[in-house]
Structure 1
Amino acid sequence: MNPDNHVSRRIALGIGVAGVGALATGTVRGGEPIRQETPPGKNPANEVKLLPTRKLGRNGPMVPMLAMGGDMEATNAPGLINRAWASGMRYYDTAQKYGHENEEAIYRRWFAAHPERRKDIFLVSKDYPKKKGPEELLTMIDTRLEALGTDYIDLYFIHQLCPEVYGAESVNWGKSDVFRKVAETLKASGKVKMVGFSCHGGPEYIQAAADGGFLDALMVQYTPFYERGGAFDRALTACHEKGIGLIAMKTLRHAGNVPKRLPEFEKLGLTTHQALLQAVWSDPRISAICNSVRNFDQMKSSIASAHGYKAPLEVSLVNRLKDAVLASRRTMCPGCPSCDAKVASTGFAFRDVARYVTYFEQDNYGQSRDLYLALSESARDSSQADLKALHEACAFGINYPEIAARAERYFA
């Protein structure tokens, strides 16, 4: 029996109540077959065990289920990139701003030293078209290519699309004729194969992409504990039905204080963090997880989880994970939709501020202060925001008043 069809015991993550019957028949809404991950392959040159893959969107390639996330410490990045390659990772994610805007140069030197590797990897980069909007990507792409030392990028994102960075009108970019024409031009040039955005805004941004129907992929803040049938769930399904690939990000950031091992997952040979990754892969709409990597132990653990994924986690196990995460009460917004309505009502970038505080406290991340100070003065100003209301609205109980005070203490 296919374990994905055993819906009486397995969780139909991310497709809502109405989708359970569809999962049992091997389809999701819209009649599209569930994307089955391929078994791990081998590189014939050196017998490296490659990661299992899933199809990215309706027209995209098969991509590894796990991506090498960027924004690494500059001293560690070259070694981590090489270890990732040797460990079978073939999906690399970077951006203009990562590594104090130096990370792309590390990839440029890596490609120069190993030119044969470029064709074997899926490469993502991102940019900030803050001045002119999507049209600015048409000139920015040449800078990205030069910085990376490559002739093309497999997937090119507008980075961190949200009202705090691009203004309230940016919610409509995903369905605008301007962005459509930009995406078409970029792909026709051969400089880019796929176009999309990384979403730091609410589900309305994801829904706009579905309404537009022309983007190839999105990267979304994802927790497996979101409201089934809620706005985020519906937006993901709408994108999936339009053939837009979905990549999960920040899946572990809210789990820094979760116990590393719990008895329920010990029996399955999984750490708690490995189980969280598998809970995300249990959603058939998610093609890959972009996983931030700070050291080789983290990378090795995540790779093992990808190779070990066989079927969706049971509902009881996902609920156990949720209880453990709630009990840990991390400072970082986990990406659930409980406070989305508050985003438009305040200029204070509370999600970003909470993220930078988490980076600083959890990872001792040296760039946290720079990231905080790079925000506009108004985005750092919490005096006009109702932080108590944000705290009360948060399903995870994140204490935004305390976080804002800590950010001032740490960074200002």
Structure 2
Amino acid sequence: MKKQTPTSRRNFLKSSVAIPAAITAIPATAHASSKKAEEPEPLPMRKLGRNGPEVTMLNLGGMMSAHNPQYIDLAWKMGIRYFDTADCYKKGKSEQDVGAWVNRYPERRKDAFIVTKDHPKKGPEELLTMIDKRLDNMGIDYIDLFFIHAMGVKEYGEESLEWPKSDRLKKVFDELKASGKTKLCGFSCHDKHLIEYLNAAAEGGFVDVIMLKYNPMMEPGDDLDKALDACHKAGIGLVAMKEMRPFAKAPKTHPKLEGTELTTHQVVLQAVWSDPRIASICSAMENISQLEENTVAARSFSKALPLETRRALGEVAALTTIPMCPGCPSCDAAAKKTEYAFQDISRYVMYYELDGNFEAREEFRNLNKAERDFAHIDLESLRDQCQYRVDYPEIARRSEYYFA
């Protein structure tokens, strides 16, 4: 990680507030060298696994409505160098935004880490032609990382549980990297079988990077912790996502987090960075305020938060109405015992309510009858046993109202 000069959070926030105004003041004809002089240093960096480069410990998600070339440029000027997108984000427009930004500032390409994803539903071999479509959509020659998007049994079938340790996927990944069209390969995952996929990847040893739903309140030694340790020891780069979703409705500050001099959401980020196995956090920062808040958190992070603070964060989550369980043992165990896709449905409702993502309706309608049928599911018991008391009866009701 890059060394940081001492600075108070308050002073840095004051200086970062001025950044948007400074950006608008730069003439469109300014030379690249003068633009560079206006830009702050990149955010602190971490090594992305055995095969990856150093990347900024915060990266810009590509799914939010604010995403456009100007917004990407703002993130760059605030120190972000890692940009995440996918074939389906904004129906392909997100990739085009990234490509337009790259082509406007070609001198930055060597320092930008660009990730996209696709859905090889017919098998891993589809990735070999899908990557050409992704590059064509962005209008660029190569990407830094290519993901199988949302690895999961529902999306790719039971056989996909074996993909991360199979010769079949290894051959595809090797061919993709040999082509020069991508430098690294991996997958993203927020499936109920996440731990199985992680362990398979650790066993296979050829996956470069995994982006996963991360629970900053997990206890040391639990199954997720062990799986992450296995991946880290295998040299797999790990990127966190969905860590902020349970705190979407949390108060800006909370008495249980007094003494940190951080907002609740900054504590969440620093709790994730307290895990040295996590190289970067993918964050869907919806506006300038969130960009400022999150980049301040990255620049001010200097050491791991005490375990007591991370546990206090769990208490805050338990006292807050949260739209999605971050992954407590009770919910994870229940998900494997029932066909009712309550975790996926919670995520769709969250996307719809918090992000205005109308594609969530289509995702819900793609579920089969058993995955949508909660008539014989004790949702009250599911809620009461959840460590964070996610209101599954209410979420089920709202999903039918929004999507059915």
Q: TM-score, normalised by structure 1?
A: 0.84
How many Å separate the matches in 1 of 2:330 and 2:3?
A: 37
Residue 209 of structure 1 corresponds to which residue in structure 2? 201
Residue 256 of structure 1 corresponds to which residue in structure 2? 248
Moved more, 192-201 or 234-243: 192-201
Residue 24 of structure 1 corresponds to which residue in structure 2? none
**CA separation of 1:179 and 1:406: change in aligned 2, threshold 3 A:** same
Please say if residues 61 and 85 of structure 2, whose CA atoms lie closer than 8 Å, have aligned partners that are also in contact: yes
How many Å separate the matches in 2 of 1:76 and 1:219?
A: 20
Q: Deviations over 1:203-257 (max 9, x none)?
A: 1111111111110110111112123212111100000001101111011000122
How many Å separate the matches in 1 of 2:218 and 2:157?
A: 26
How many Å separate the matches in 1 of 2:96 and 2:59?
A: 19
Aligned match of 2:151 in 138, 153, 161?
161
Aligned match of 1:185 in 163, 175, 179?
175
Please say if residues 220 and 248 of structure 1, whose CA atoms lie closer than 8 Å, have aligned partners that are also in contact: yes
How many Å separate the matches in 1 of 2:61 and 2:297?
A: 16
How many Å separate the matches in 1 of 2:163 and 2:298?
A: 33
Say if 2:24 is the partner of 1:60. Answer: no
Residue 117 of structure 1 corresponds to which residue in structure 2? 108
SS of corresponding position for 1:328? coil
Which letter maps to 1:107? V
CA RMSD of aligned residues (A): 2.3
Which letter maps to 2:116? S
Alignment of 1:190-201 (within 5 A): 190-201=180-191
Residue 8 of structure 1 corresponds to which residue in structure 2? none
Q: TM-score, normalised by structure 2?
A: 0.86
Aligned match of 2:68 in 47, 68, 77?
77
Instruction: Structure 1: state its 5+ residue gaps.
Output: 1-36
Deviation of 1:355 after TM superposition, in Å, equals 1.2
Please say if residues 203 and 337 of structure 1, whose CA atoms lie closer than 8 Å, have aligned partners that are also in contact: no
| Alignment size in residue pairs | 374
What is the aligned-residue identity percentage? 48
Deviation of 1:111 after TM superposition, in Å, equals 2.1
Alignment of 1:3-402 (within 5 A): 37-39=1-3, 45-73=37-65, 76-130=67-121, 132-201=122-191, 202-263=194-255, 265=257, 267-375=259-367, 379-383=371-375, 387-388=379-380, 390-402=382-394
Residue 398 of structure 2 corresponds to which residue in structure 1? 406
SS of corresponding position for 1:102? helix
Deviation of 1:363 after TM superposition, in Å, equals 4.0
**CA separation of 1:81 and 1:374: change in aligned 2, threshold 3 A:** farther
How many Å separate the matches in 2 of 1:115 and 1:368?
A: 35
SS of corresponding position for 1:229? coil
How many Å separate the matches in 1 of 2:136 and 2:298?
A: 33
SS of corresponding position for 1:260? coil
Please say if residues 257 and 313 of structure 2, whose CA atoms lie closer than 8 Å, have aligned partners that are also in contact: no
**CA separation of 1:340 and 1:169: change in aligned 2, threshold 3 A:** farther
Please say if residues 67 and 94 of structure 2, whose CA atoms lie closer than 8 Å, have aligned partners that are also in contact: no
How many Å separate the matches in 2 of 1:343 and 1:266?
A: 35
SS of corresponding position for 1:139? helix
Q: Deviations over 1:146-183 (max 9, x none)?
A: 11111111111111111122222211111111111111
Moved more, 142-151 or 273-282: 142-151
Q: Deviations over 1:253-312 (max 9, x none)?
A: 001222211246454321010011001100111111111111111111000000000101
